[in-house]
Amino acid sequence: MTRYTVERLGHQGDGIVAGPLYVSGVLPGEVITGEVEKDRIVGPSIVTPSDHRVKAPCSHAKSCGGCNLQHASDDFVAGFKRGVVQTALTTRGMTAEVCATETSPPASRRRAVFSARRTKKGALVGFHMKASDTVIAVPNCKVLSPVLLGIVPVLEDLTVLGGSRKGTLRFTVTETTGGVDILAEGGKPADGPFLAQLAQTSAKPGIARLTWEDELIATQHTPAVNFGAAVVTPPPGAFFQATQEGEQTLVSAVLELIDGAGRVADLFSGCGTFTFPAAQSAEVHAFEGEKAMIASLEAGWRHAKGLRTVTATTRDLFRRPLLPDELNKFDAIIIDPPRAGAEAQIAEIAKSDVATIAMVSCNPVTFARDAEVLIAAGYEMRNLKVVDQFRWSSHVEVVAGFHR
């Protein structure tokens, strides 16, 4: 059988050999064998392992599609993620010193999306297998918090009640101070006797709130989250940072970057992850496209104490980015866009006179694209940090400052 040497890893964690051919579960420098199917090597055997190869800590590592780097040492993964960021910048002709990767600990994920299917014997709740629609149970998951793992039996009960053997239910679960917030999507309509069954299930211990599709079934305890000095109740399924450790790292970096600013714009603010910590010392105006998130942010502000003024506006920053004359009212900007980046908004920021920008990104490729625009407009990039909230995956987050 032909032997291949792994040259490097792609940004999604797959190994690349000459051809190119792609193969999962390998590391640079390893010699492997395997069958070639189209552009992939399947079922690879490791002939010469890397010094960075370790035994996967999770019993589901070979089958679960949630983690793809458990076979690599922590030091290797941290360096790999810094390299992904550096490569994204280099591709656009930029260089920057990347600080050490800040990695969240095992069992710290407080937010996850489970897939679920009803079976002959009950229900199957877990994650998809690698490159497959098949759902597998993950009782020994090393990423999820114990609280989220502990709620799986309730999700199984909900799947038996409202799932299908043909379709797949989707549960977005979030650990809050009041318990687990559950949003179910893809099940049967919540009406008649089924509605009463859902309400009864939602009363089980550990559940804060249950929402079925767009219908609130019950709130047993307030599903609250602390952002700085504010207590916020996010809408069902709302996005916020995956781990508390990762959030704290990002918040600390952002606050350091905007230190001394009196008026701050928080763009793509969500429910206030950065808004409220920034409001400890600055007046903050939050902008977010989702009306429900802004409503949660405003409610949190009304009950918070010891903060500077916080105002909020629902605005689609993709279609209606803030213009330079609006931006120039602020001393600093915090911007945390989704994976697509903020191309339209960055173009307007580049035309503004704002002195300081703190940018958070979950996609090094779009981060590099947006950074290139700012640098071309006269900004200097500083304090670039890599934050790894998705341990053992190829996912990378970045925070950096841009200063005129």
Angle (nearest 5°) at CA 267 between 265 and 273: 95
CB 108 within 8 A of CB 100: no
CB 232 within 8 A of CB 310: no
Sign of CA dihedral 197, 203, 205, 211: positive
Catalytic residue among 58, 141, 271, 362: 362
Nearest to 353 by CA among 383, 317, 325, 321: 325
Nearest to 148 by CA among 104, 215, 68, 208: 208
Sole residue written with tokens 């009363």: 203
Is 362 annotated in the active site? yes
Give CA–CA dist 91/261, Å, rounded: 33
Q: Is 358 helix (H, G, I), strand (E, B) or coil?
A: strand
Give CA–CA dist 106/9, Å, rounded: 23
Q: How far is CA 321 from CA 14, 47, 81, 327, 399, in A?
A: 36, 53, 31, 10, 21
Q: What is the DSSP letter of 129?
A: B
The torsion defined by the Cα of 112, 117, 120 and 123, in degrees rounded to 10, comes to 20
DSSP 56-95: -SSTTTTTBSS-S-TTB-HHHHHHHHHHHHHHHHHHTT--
Give CA–CA dist 71/23, Å, rounded: 13
> What burial class does residue 122 get, using C-beta atoms within 10 Å of its C-beta: 0-12 exposed, 13-18 middle, 19+ buried?
exposed
CB 32 within 8 A of CB 61: no
CB 179 within 8 A of CB 223: yes
Q: Is 403 helix (H, G, I), strand (E, B) or coil?
A: strand
Amino acid letter at 352? S
- Per the structure block, which two tokens stand in for 18? 């000459």
Active site (catalytic) residues: 362
